[in-house]
């Protein structure tokens, strides 16, 4: 390949005949919009967060910068049962993805491409990535350059699997560690001149409590090195398991599906003193029965809190000694676990009780699902042609 080829990748020209759609640029949201996809351009820049439970897709037209897609979809592939009658599944599809797969779960064999943040089922992951491509480019004609988040602890195999999953689906892909992307996505550059704005990348400790792993990342104005990061394989999915076991023990006659368990967790999760009165209806031999899940939810979440705190105590000494005091005041919780009621307060209490000076734990916000993809999109927009040329897949 000549130098010219390297520095001059093929950038398709935007289709001028395509009617322009004057839509306001929307703020990233974790809720899928009703019509998330705008007509595709010929050259698309994509920021992708392939998550264990949900994936976030942010795509823009490279030429105009106009948003093409900004949505969150469940990371699920559903395979139709053999011999299923025509008309049951939408379009009589053999495979369904995301929300459609969830809605038709009863008639599908559900596959989750990722586990603990990394690809477990490569075939399903590849299909899922193709589905994503279909969302942002239904015509299949556009050139797509993607930045994809990978967990900070992803080993060579895990990274290779991501690479394989996107090969032949996108035209170029750059894999970037998720903690960096999350911090970059969380940062609001437009407010940097605001003296009241606390720049989260100046001196902070990010704790991303995801589904498969809890990732810690010290960010002090630099691209985080391995010494700045720690990954713990205890996270939201372990809360599910703990809750499932707790409920099975307390109510042995009930059978509750994994989806319901997750639903209870997302609705009622809290840490701290036991809370009661969280009533849910479950079937017992086909008859409805109301049970209180408060105690079990609390126990499961407190287990996570303890583990998060244990690892946090290992991470804090990793920061430079002269920066620790300030960093302790900027602990930022993100990921699904950050939404657990009282999580920041309880973590702060544990830190105080353990002797740390004036710790302050903040929550990144309800838009946590989009930070990685948002960061990925920013990186993708900054990538130079020669860098994309080196990233062809």
Partner 1 sequence: MTDTHWETARKLFREACMLRATGDEKGAVRILAKDMPGAVSVWMGASSRPDQEKKKQLQEMFQKEMQKVDESVELCDMMLSRFEETFALQVSTILYDFQMLLYDVFGLDTKNIRPPSAASTPPRKRPSVKKTGKKKSEDTQPQPTANQMAERLRNFKEARLRTNKNWQSILFNDLEKIIDTVLEEKPKSDKKTAKPKTKRKSTRAKTVK
Enter the tokens of residue 356: 């740390």
**38, 164, 260, 295: residue in contact with partner 1 (rule CB under 8 A):** 164
**Quick one: 59 exposed, middle or buried, by C-beta within 10 A (0-12, 13-18, 19+)?**
buried
The window from 61-69, 123-131, 315-323, 338-346 that contacts partner 1 (CB under 8 A) reads 315-323
The window from 39-47, 269-277, 295-303, 309-317 that contacts partner 1 (CB under 8 A) reads 309-317
Helix or strand run (H / E) with residue 98: helix 98-103
At its nearest, how many Å lie between partner 1 and the CB of residue 52? 16
CA neighbor of 128 nearest in space, from 91, 164, 75, 79: 75
At its nearest, how many Å lie between partner 1 and the CB of residue 310? 9
Is residue 292 a contact point for partner 1 (CB under 8 A)? no
Q: How far is CA 81 from the centre of its chain?
A: 29
**78, 113, 177, 344: residue in contact with partner 1 (rule CB under 8 A):** 177
Is residue 65 a contact point for partner 1 (CB under 8 A)? no
The window from 9-17, 146-154, 282-290, 334-342 that contacts partner 1 (CB under 8 A) reads 146-154
Residue 286: which residues within 8 A CB-CB, separation 6 or more?
Answer: none
**Read out DSSP for 327-340?**
HHT-EEEESGGGGS
Give the residue with the Cβ less far from partner 1, 282 or 327.
327
Task: Return the sign of the alpha-carbon dihedral for residues 82, 85, 89, 93.
Answer: positive
Enter the tokens of residue 41: 């351009």
Give the residue with the Cβ less far from partner 1, 16 or 322.
322
CA neighbor of 237 nearest in space, from 153, 181, 300, 178: 300
Q: How many residues does the chain have?
A: 393
**40, 42, 70, 152: residue in contact with partner 1 (rule CB under 8 A):** 152
**13, 225, 281, 287: residue in contact with partner 1 (rule CB under 8 A):** 225
CA distance 316 to 43: 43
**175, 243, 303, 372: residue in contact with partner 1 (rule CB under 8 A):** 175
The window from 252-260, 288-296, 346-354, 374-382 that contacts partner 1 (CB under 8 A) reads 374-382
**74, 113, 224, 359: residue in contact with partner 1 (rule CB under 8 A):** 224
Q: Please, are residues 95 and 77 in contact by the beta-carbon 8 Å criterion?
A: yes
Q: Any bridge partners for residue 45, and if so which?
A: 60, 145
User: What does the binding site for partner 1 look like in residue numbers (CB under 8 A)?
Assistant: 1, 6, 152-156, 159-160, 163-164, 167, 174-177, 179-180, 183-184, 201, 215-217, 219-227, 229-233, 311, 314, 317-318, 320-322, 378-379, 382-384, 387, 389-393
């Amino acid at each position: 390949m000549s130098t010219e080829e390297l520095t001059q990748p093929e950038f398709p020209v935007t289709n001028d005949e395509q009617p322009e759609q004057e839509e306001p640029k929307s703020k990233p949201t974790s809720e899928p919009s009703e019509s998330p996809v705008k007509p595709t351009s010929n050259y698309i820049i994509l920021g992708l967060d392939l998550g264990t439970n949900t994936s976030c897709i942010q795509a823009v037209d490279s030429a105009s910068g106009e948003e093409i897609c900004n949505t969150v979809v469940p990371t699920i592939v559903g395979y139709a049962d053999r011999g299923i009658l025509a008309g049951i599944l939408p379009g009589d599809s053999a495979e369904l993805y995301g929300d459609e797969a969830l809605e038709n779960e009863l008639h599908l064999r559900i596959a989750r491409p990722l586990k603990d943040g990394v690809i477990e089922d490569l075939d399903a992951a590849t299909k899922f990535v193709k589905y994503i491509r279909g969302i942002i480019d239904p015509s299949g004609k556009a050139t797509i350059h993607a930045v994809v988040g990978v967990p900070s602890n992803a080993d060579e195999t895990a990274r290779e699997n991501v690479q394989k999953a996107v090969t032949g689906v996108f035209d170029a892909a750059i894999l970037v560690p998720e903690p960096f992307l999350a911090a970059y996505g969380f940062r609001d550059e437009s407010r940097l001149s605001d003296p009241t704005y606390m720049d989260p990348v100046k001196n902070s400790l990010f704790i991303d409590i995801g589904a498969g792993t809890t990732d810690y990342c010290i960010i002090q104005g630099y691209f985080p090195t391995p010494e700045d990061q720690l990954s713990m394989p205890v996270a939201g999915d372990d809360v599910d398991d703990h809750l499932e076991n707790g409920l099975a023990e307390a109510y042995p006659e009930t059978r509750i599906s994994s989806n319901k368990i997750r639903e209870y967790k997302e609705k009622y999760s809290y840490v701290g003193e036991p809370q009661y009165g969280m009533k849910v209806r479950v079937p017992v031999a086909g008859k409805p029965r109301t049970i209180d899940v408060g105690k079990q939810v609390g126990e499961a979440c407190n287990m996570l809190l303890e583990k998060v705190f244990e690892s946090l105590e290992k991470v804090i000494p990793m920061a430079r000694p002269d920066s620790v005091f300030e960093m302790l005041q900027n602990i930022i919780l993100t990921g699904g676990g950050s939404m657990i009621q009282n999580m920041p307060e309880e973590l702060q209490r544990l830190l105080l009780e353990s002797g740390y000076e004036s710790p302050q734990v903040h929550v990144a916000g309800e838009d946590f699902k989009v930070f990685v993809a948002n960061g990925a999109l920013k990186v993708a927009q900054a990538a130079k042609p020669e860098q994309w040329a080196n990233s062809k897949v």
